[in-house]
Amino acid sequence: MPNRQTHLPVGTTFGVGAALLQLLRTPAAYRAIELIGAALGGACGGMAPDLFEPALSPAHRSVLHSIVVGGAGTMGLVAHVQGRCREMAAECVSRAEVLPIGTEVRRAEEHSAMLWYFLAGFALGFAAGYGSHLLLDAATPASIPLITSGF
């Protein structure tokens, strides 16, 4: 049965893998920071369902372990969040490009862009890590519920 020792590295791997698939959408100067965000997001997403619904009993899988609520809901929310982070990052990059090189204001815009790209990677990694958790748990004898174990 998957546990922390399984969910953490698999979630991280899924997060980085998902980011690698989208890396060309990110300016070259910001790709490494987005990959770092995706790795951390994947680790967090891979652990999230069990943090909110701890495995205190074999029947611990409920709403956040469900395919519909946990999986699809997380993916939809994260797609929105990642898109907004990318928009904010692009705005920072655009503002930075017209400022004189070496100025404090330009560096601030570049740092803001790095933060937004990190968060875009984190959001994508989180969704991929969360999905990996559900996939691993679905392959167990107890499986996971479609909506919630209460229905």
Characterise 93 by phi-psi region: left (phi > 0), alpha (psi -120 to 50), beta (else).
Answer: alpha
Contacts of 94 (CB under 8 A, 6+ apart): none
Q: What pTM, to 2 d.p., does this model score?
A: 0.86
Between 104-138 and 73-97, two packed helices, what is the crossing angle to 10 degrees? 160
- Average pLDDT for residues 33-61, to the nearest whole number? 85
Percent of the chain with pLDDT over 70: 83
CB 47 within 8 A of CB 132: no
Q: Per-residue pLDDT tens for 120-141?
A: 999 999 999 988 988 888 887 7
Q: Per-residue pLDDT tens for 107-123?
A: 999 999 999 999 999 99
How is the chain split into domains, by residue range?
Answer: 4-138
Q: By C-alpha distance, which of 82, 83, 108 is closest to 95? A: 108
pLDDT over 70 at 72, yes or no:
yes
In whole numbers, what is the pLDDT of the chain averaged over residues?
86
CB 98 within 8 A of CB 38: no
